[in-house]
Structure 1
Amino acid sequence: MAVSQYMNDDEETSLGIPRRYAWIVFALTFGLLISDYMSRQVLNAVFPLLKGEWALTDSQLGLLSGIVALMVGLLTFPLSLLADRFGRIKSLALMAMLWSLATLGCALAESYEQMLIARFLVGVGEAAYGSVGIAVVVAVFPREMRATLAGAFMAGGMFGSVLGMALGGVLAQHFGWRWAFAGMAFFGLALAVLYPVIVKEARIAPRRLADAASQAALKAQRPLRTLYSSRSVIGAYVGSGLQLFVGGTVIVWMPSYLNRYYEMGTDKAGAVAAIIVLCSGVGIILCGMLCDRLGHARPDRKISLAIGYCLGSCLLLSLAFALPPGTAQLVLICLGMMIAAGTNGPSSAMVANLTHYSVHGTAFATLTLANNLLGLATGPLITGKVSDLIGLDNAFQLVPLVSIAAAAVFIYTKRHYHSDMALLRGKMLDAAADEPQASARGGLGVCAHSRS
């Protein structure tokens, strides 16, 4: 029996959605994701200014960054579950409004404590955006494009980081760090107002079966169980999170690294760091495209590619941070970052294929939870503490080694992927076989109700 028949979720959710409208939805959702990361990463560009003005340690700076990722990790699951049930579009608009207002609060902060509270609220607002937003995107396009679209969508985080650090560095250099936050806030508020005007829940909702019997069959499948019912999906969560420890840490601390060891001002450091992050964003898209192309006939190849991305980035970044500051080091950092976050596309595709379409928002929330608790939240914080002890340059030499652990998890995942997909397929076929019986029972129930 061909392996490929097991590899895709049987539900095609994009039926009836015009392709032009799907791309409009993607563009607006992508734009909000850029705003999300602009608000999150603008802080990194002004690290040197805050450190000097408020006499902060690297641990305190790491907490200002990590608190956002921590709240995303803690709240993404419950908020995504609510969005799946009560409307993804309204939820996305409310999230964008909250994080933009909180970013404006960062601009008005008069102390470290006030800044920490504002950053906490930024994290609350951004908590479920990535998971719910990507669920909207994969719902309006054919399933064959999942890795590419997931990679492109997640690359929006990198592009947002680029704009946040580059524009934030320029604004901070010429107008002060408060205007760096204010500029990001105004952009987000404008998109938050526009989004629900154009994107409508009724037009982007996946195809649903409306009759009572089909709803009963769906309930019988207990789709929430697919979030954690296989070793492969758990491996996708853990491997993705460990790998983002590396990419997320480099993004957060790169402006400070350039400021300290290359003696760059905030504007130049932000611009150079933005180029590095841009390389990472382009790499996510290219890695996702390669995943879809090579994995069309042999979908398990997406896991092999994820393993290669982990080991390749470990080698390149380890070599980079072993070199003294200079052009060669920067080139190797750019090359390493091009594949460091390449696991986003394969991991997202695996999660989509291994979970039920009706809980994709919650499934991506679980992936986001792992990404933040294992990578984006812990990476900058741990690196900041290590930096206080041995210096940021030495701390950076240790960071790429986490990719080895990520590769080991993906190797374990690959061993079980075929059997887990076959098991999921079998459960869905069993549920479909039970549907005629549910339909018959539903019909009898309707007749009994009419007689009563």
Structure 2
Amino acid sequence: MAQLHHSDHHCDHHRGTTASDVPRRYAWIVFALTFGLLISDYMSRQVLNAVFPLLKEEWVLSDSQLGLLAGIVALMVGLLTVPLSLLADRFGRVRSLTLMAILWSLATLMCALSDNFEQMLTARFFVGIGEAAYGSVGIAVVLSVFPARLRATLTGAFMAGGMFGSVLGMGLGGVIATALTWRWAFACMALFGLALAFIYPLIVREARIAPRNARNEAAPLPPLRLRLAGLVSSRSVICAYIGSGLQLFIGGAMIAWMPSYLNRYYDMATDKAGALAAVFVLTAGAGMVLCGIVSDRVSQNLPQRKFLLACSYCIATFLLLSAAFQLPPGPLQLLLIGAGMFVAAGTSGPAGAMVANLTHATIHGTAFATLTLVNNLLGLAPGPLVTGRLADSFGLGSALQIIPLVSLAAAIAFYIGKRNYLKDLQGVHAGNEGNVPLETRVQ
């Protein structure tokens, strides 16, 4: 993952680059298929949100129980992403990604066959195990075949696959559940994942994304103890982890509860609520991509701007969503929600690039696993659950008025990180990139 190439960047030579050995067309094929599996990952995860109203009525569930069904997946992802990412590096990333996709697809099929809350919770538990390390290992595969100068763009674009998968999961899930049953909504997501899991290893092969000369020239990995210490070796990288995780609390809560909010406050049917919620998630996905591109563009010679941009995205999220949920239901509220979700996801690209820049090249895979862990434990897991608890106590509308405050905490974390960023960059890169100028090495 760390061994990236660009012909104009001499630093890649010092890293033992592999990107020069991967044809550009094949690199984009790798991206497309890995991106497709990420979409399947989130389709399987978020189809549940589209059928919340149906499950609530059929099984007489509380909002807290619905939040637990949504949050258990992110909780397992957070707990298992680091150990499973380490195993993937040991046993082969392509093989590991394929096994993950098979597991989460079969577990989603188990959801379709569930007869009560307990069975559904067990199935969702296994969905979480299957999806635990996909994001970190998948982005490691993608970044390994592209130039280092595209890190924020690729990270934002790849993570946007989660948003696009959520769009399809909620949009198609609502339509299928209305036309057939909620069980068929889960089943269709499972079949799509199994089909991609069959195709992926036939085209993406370990030998082609890690050519022989790169394997021979690559430096051996340092001991596990030193790799783990390097994950938290600077204040800036810790702030990047925390800021990213706190900001994704908003994303996790909004994605989980928007279909229910539209159903309750706009009197929309399941299919229409799921379709409109999918539009909001699509807006968030577009924000991931575009904000990542902006980050790369404006930070070429001033890397610390990544932290400043992340702060501004967090503050804008707080202002837009706070204003939105103070308004009565209507077009203006929906417009502000869409704008808030666009910037809410904007920190993903800059945060991923900051983590890559602030950790040693040999531990990037584990660094992204750590970022995934924090994203889930601070954001994606508690977001739906805490919102559900607040909704049980105060109502869903009031709960959604409260949660934007978390974005202010994220902005503070990013601001603290910015104050130490340049000094920490010098410390990380001085030891492994010779005399290459910092502004050339880090974008």
Please, what TM-score do these two structures have when normalized by structure 1?
0.91
**Structure 1 letter corresponding to 2:112:** A
1:66 maps to a residue whose letter is G
Deviation of the 1:208 alpha carbon: 3.4
Per-residue Cα deviation, 1:417-442 (whole angstroms, up to 9, x for no partner): 1111111122225899xxxxxxxxxx
Q: Is the 8 A contact 1:14 1:139 kept in 2?
A: yes
1:39–1:184: 8 Å Cα contact kept in structure 2?
yes
Q: In structure 1, what is the equivalent of residue 439 of structure 2?
A: none
How far apart are the structure 2 equivalents of 1:358 and 1:95? Answer: 23
2:362 matched residue in structure 1 = 358
Match of 1:94 among 77, 99, 102: 99
The answer to whether 1:367 aligns with 2:375 is no
CA contact (8 A) 1:84 1:359 kept: no
2:214 is matched with 208
State, as a whole percentage, how many aligned pairs show the same letter.
Answer: 66
Cα separation, partners in 2 of 1:25 and 1:34, compared to 1, 3 Å: same
CA contact (8 A) 2:360 2:429 kept: no
Show the counterpart of 1:188: 193
Unmatched segments (≥5 aa) in structure 2: 1-8, 437-443
Match 2:349 to one of 345, 352, 355: 345
Q: How does 1:317-356 map to 2 (within 5 A)?
A: 317-356=321-360
Amino acid at match of 1:192: A
Q: Please, what is the CA RMSD of the aligned residues?
A: 2.2
Structure 2 partner of 1:449:
none
* Pair 339,239 (structure 1): closer, same or farther in 2 beyond 3 Å: same
Q: What is the aligned partner in structure 1 of residue 441 from structure 2?
A: none
C-alpha distance in 2 between matches for 1:230 and 1:25: 32
Q: How far, CA to CA, are the matches of 2:274 and 2:19 in structure 1?
A: 39
Distance 1:143 1:430, change over 3 A: closer
Q: How many residues align?
A: 426
Larger Rg: 1
Cα distance in 1 for residues equivalent to 2:342 and 2:196:
29
Q: Deviations for 1:356-414, whole angstroms, at most 9, x for unmatched residues? A: 33322211110000000000001110110011000000000011110000000000000
Provide the TM-score with structure 2 as the length reference. Answer: 0.93
Q: Does 1:145 align with 2:150?
A: yes
User: Which residue of 2 is the match for residue 427 of structure 1?
Assistant: 431
C-alpha distance in structure 1 between counterparts of 2:433 and 2:66, whole Å? 52
What SS does the aligned partner of 1:260 have? helix
Deviation of the 1:117 alpha carbon: 0.3
Contact 1:80/1:128 (8 A) holds in 2 = yes
Matches within 5 A, 1:28-177: 28-177=33-182
Say whether residues 1:296 and 2:280 are aligned partners.
no
Match of 1:285 among 285, 289, 294: 289
The code of the aligned residue for 1:22 comes to A
Pair 1:417-2:421 in alignment: yes
- Which whole-Å CA distance do the structure 2 matches of 1:10 and 1:61 have between them? 50
Give the whole-Å Cα distance in 1 for the aligned partners of 2:187 and 2:293: 36
CA distance in 2, matches of 1:405, 1:221: 31
**Cross-structure match for 1:275:** 279
Separation of aligned partners in 1, 2:167 and 2:393: 29
**Contact kept? 2:360, 2:428, Cα under 8 Å:** no
- Structure 1 contact 221–428 (Cα < 8 Å) conserved: no
Contact 1:73/1:368 (8 A) holds in 2: yes
Please, which runs of 5 or more residues in structure 1 have no aligned partner?
Answer: 433-452
Deviation at 1:349, TM superposition (A): 0.4
Q: Deviations over 1:140-186 (max 9, x none)?
A: 10000010010000000000000000000000001010000000000
Question: Aligned with 1:229: secondary structure?
Answer: coil
Matched, 1:266 2:267: no
Going from structure 1 to structure 2, the CA distance change for 1:183 and 1:216 (only over 3 Å counts) comes to closer
C-alpha contact 1:66 1:381 (8 A) present in aligned 2: yes
Distance 1:171 1:217, change over 3 A: closer
**d(CA) in 2 for partners of 1:343, 1:402:** 14
